[in-house]
Amino acid sequence: MSTINSVRNTVLSILNKNNYGYISPADFNLYAKQAQLDIFEDYFYDYNYQVNKENARTSGTGLANIGQQLAEVIDYFTVQLYLTYAAPYFTLPADWYTISKLQVVPPALPTTYTDIERVSVAKIGKLVMSNLTSPNTTYPAYTIGPATYIAPPATQAPVTNSVQVYPDTIQADVLCTYIRYPRDPKWTYTTLPNGEPFFNETNADYIDFELPDSDEPNLINKILQYAGVSIRELDVYRAASQEELENTQEEQ
């Protein structure tokens, strides 16, 4: 059974058991999207927590190494691609969450990898203006968005989904390793003669959750929280929140 259909059936079963109400497919998809994003972002906080435990020599090893398990999940969302140059910026993909690494990687053999150092927009101006620290092709740098020391026209909109690489002679072969957002889940269906929606995973815009099966209980609890707020049932929200808290404590 598909994960998203399993999650939806469980959510509806819990709500219907106590006559709390019904979630439409459209509302379920909205809650599912937000629940997946919540869990996805928690991966990074949980990973940081586990790294700190490892540094303090209080983490497990082998199958009990939760930090390694989280790293494997995060790796699933890691993508590499060459960025497109649109002077003076390189355009970032629409699904980027955070950049892991930026490199100049010419396709010609022998292939060489030159790491591009990330610097803040506030700092790049000082670096460029200095003969000693100005970025070069051996030690390039980049900022996310435009540099403040270049005065743009007053009508120019901020550029946020892009990186600016220094020196500006670098206009190609920039390889970006980044972590992407998970795709928005979508429970698709066919409407039966009586008006009941029936799950249809052959629909062209069907998208399942991208999280591990082990996160299914967390997805259910978070969707129930959103549903509880929507239908104004405090008991649903409290029960789901308590279940989520217990799951979190077990993982730690």
CB 209 within 8 A of CB 7: yes
Predicted pLDDT of residue 76:
94
The residues, any chain, with a CB within 8 Å of residue 98's CB and separated by 6 or more, are 178, 179
Conformation bin of residue 185: beta by default, left when phi > 0, alpha when psi is -120 to 50: beta
> If we measure between CA atoms, which residue out of 183, 180, 181 comes closest to residue 206?
183
Task: Kindly report the average pLDDT of the chain as a whole number.
Answer: 84
| pLDDT number for residue 23 | 87
Instruction: Spell out the domain ranges in the chain.
Output: 3-75+186-251, 79-180
Residue by residue, DSSP assigns 225-241 as: HHHHHHTT-HHHHHHHH
Q: Note if the pTM is more than 0.85.
A: no
The residue with tokens 């469980």 is: 10
CA within 13 Å, CB half, 176: 25
pLDDT of 251 above 70: no
Q: What is the pLDDT of residues 49-58, one digit of tens each?
A: 888 877 777 7
The CA distance from 72 to 249, in Å, is 21
pLDDT of residue 131: 85
**Torsion angle of the four alpha carbons 103, 104, 105, 107, in this order, in degrees rounded to the nearest 10:** 150
Inform me whether the pLDDT recorded for 228 exceeds 60. yes
Indicate if the pLDDT at residue 186 is higher than 50.
Answer: yes
d(CA 150, CA 157): 14
166 CB-side CA count, 13 A:
22
pLDDT in tens, 107-147: 777 778 999 999 998 898 889 888 888 999 999 999 997 54
Q: What is the pLDDT of residues 16-65, one digit of tens each?
A: 876 666 789 999 999 999 999 999 999 999 888 888 877 777 766 665 67
Give CA 29 to chain center in angstroms.
17
